[in-house]
Amino acid sequence: GNPEVGREATREEAERVRQVLEGADMVFIAAGMGGGTGTGGAPVVAEISREVGALTVAVVSKPFEFEGKMKMRLADKGIDELRRVADTIITIPNDRLFSLGSKNSRTSDIFSMANEVLGAAVRGISDLIVKPAYIKVDFADVRTIMKEGGMALMGTGIAGGTNRAQEAAMRAISHPLLEDISIRGARGILINITTSQEFSLDELREICSIIQNEAHEEALTKWGLVYDDNLGDEMQVTVIATGIGRRGEMGAKEEVWPAAAAETPAEAYLEIPAFLREGGKIPRTTEIPAAEKRVAMAPVSGKKNVVHPDLQYEESELDIPAFMRKVE
């Protein structure tokens, strides 16, 4: 499909969409990215949702790798547009669905799984709000964590036995269906624990510590506790972490551009004051401490600032026209 067609079709129905969303506290947008309707229409719906004041959460799937690079690029572009208007985005790559089935799974079953995974993500968030709990995560908590939360991770881990707390927590933050993102650096965390009443304070401490140690040291954390004796020895840990980046991006340094090339086009060269020219070439840029008060020229034709390595001037001196300056 064509995302532009999906975008325009959704805009034509914008008033109807607004009427449906008016008064909603929270809106979930589930879409498959890479085609026309989801890629083009989802950002329009998200924008309307934000305009009516609803907490806007997008849960979207990405194409299978075998569907081609063009479709993946369309999906990435649609997700980038969503990031500008949705509060929180959870992405699920379709390729991860292979982990749920066998090599010979039917195509219809795989695509059904995609819908089920999107639905499970939505239910996982809504259940935090609507289900009765011993210690409840309410809508105010969810809004605090997810409002303008950006890219998010959501995972569920289930475990039993002696080390159930540790195993359930680790499985929740390394869920195989979620995109290749890490909880490291997350700024907001929601933790919901479902277990029998045979649940110790030490297990609670262990779960929260494991998750918090992986997130940003100043992350805001909210947690809830639901008792369900039907689980027996098992416990379930659900984690929603917001404000995170892809693996490999966390801690990445800002790109530093190399010094300007020695050779400069004639047009750009003539824009440089004569006293900074040297032998038809522009001196290479160097890192200069602010205390030295060397004056860098404005960027020229996309090049970096240029500073003559041998000339130093007081800034006030350059306010005086060249012909009036006294040369020592």
CATH number at residue 207: 3.30.1330.20
User: What is residue 56's DSSP assignment?
Assistant: E
Same domain? For 244 and 168 the reply is yes
Structure tokens at 111: 């695509």
Tell whether 135 is covered by a domain.
no
Tell whether 141 is covered by a domain.
no
User: What is the end-to-end Cα distance of the chain in Å, rounded?
Assistant: 72
Structure tokens at 18: 């607004």
Query: What distance in Å separates the CA atoms of residue 232 and residue 58, rounded to the nearest whole number?
Result: 34
Tell whether 50 is covered by a domain.
yes
- Position 316 scores a pLDDT of 46
Query: What distance in Å separates the CA atoms of residue 211 and residue 145, rounded to the nearest whole number?
Result: 15
Tell whether 170 is covered by a domain.
yes
Structure tokens at 147: 């409002």
- Position 203 scores a pLDDT of 96
pLDDT confidence tier of residue 128, bands split at 50, 70 and 90: confident
Same domain? For 320 and 305 the reply is yes
Same domain? For 230 and 157 the reply is yes
Same domain? For 4 and 83 the reply is yes
Least confident segment among 83-92, 110-119, 147-156: 110-119
Tell whether 305 is covered by a domain.
yes
Same domain? For 96 and 9 the reply is yes
Same domain? For 2 and 97 the reply is yes
| pTM: predicted TM-score of the whole model, two decimal places | 0.68
Cβ-Cβ contacts under 8 Å for 184 (sequence gap 6 or more): 214, 215, 216, 244, 250
Same domain? For 124 and 21 the reply is yes
Tell whether 143 is covered by a domain.
no
Q: In this predicted model, which residue has the larger pLDDT, 100 or 242?
A: 242
Same domain? For 15 and 85 the reply is yes
Domain finish residue from 213, 248, 283? 248
Q: Does residue 288 carry a pLDDT above 60? A: no
Q: Does residue 164 carry a pLDDT above 60? A: yes
Same domain? For 232 and 261 the reply is no
Query: What distance in Å separates the CA atoms of residue 81 and residue 273, rounded to the nearest whole number?
Result: 43
Domain finish residue from 248, 280, 302? 248
Q: In this predicted model, which residue has the larger pLDDT, 319 or 208?
A: 208
- Position 255 scores a pLDDT of 32
Domain span at residue 262?
253-328
User: What is residue 252's DSSP assignment?
Assistant: P
Tell whether 75 is covered by a domain.
yes
Q: DSSP string covering 143-194, please?
A: HHHHTT-EEEEEEEEEE-STTHHHHHHHHHTT-TTS-SB-STT-SEEEEEEE
Same domain? For 117 and 30 the reply is yes
Torsion of CA 120, 125, 127, 132, to 10 degrees: 160
Q: Does residue 298 carry a pLDDT above 50? A: no
Domain finish residue from 130, 160, 180? 130
In tens, the pLDDT along 185-240 reads: 899 999 999 999 999 999 999 999 999 998 988 899 999 999 988 889 999 999 99
Average pLDDT over residues 252-275: 40
Number of H helices, E strands in the chain: 9, 7
Same domain? For 213 and 316 the reply is no
Considering its fold, how many domains does the chain have in total?
3
What CATH number did the domain enclosing 32 receive? 3.40.50.1440
Tell whether 137 is covered by a domain.
no
Same domain? For 92 and 188 the reply is no
Candidates 188, 243, 250; CA nearest to 219 is: 188
- Position 178 scores a pLDDT of 62
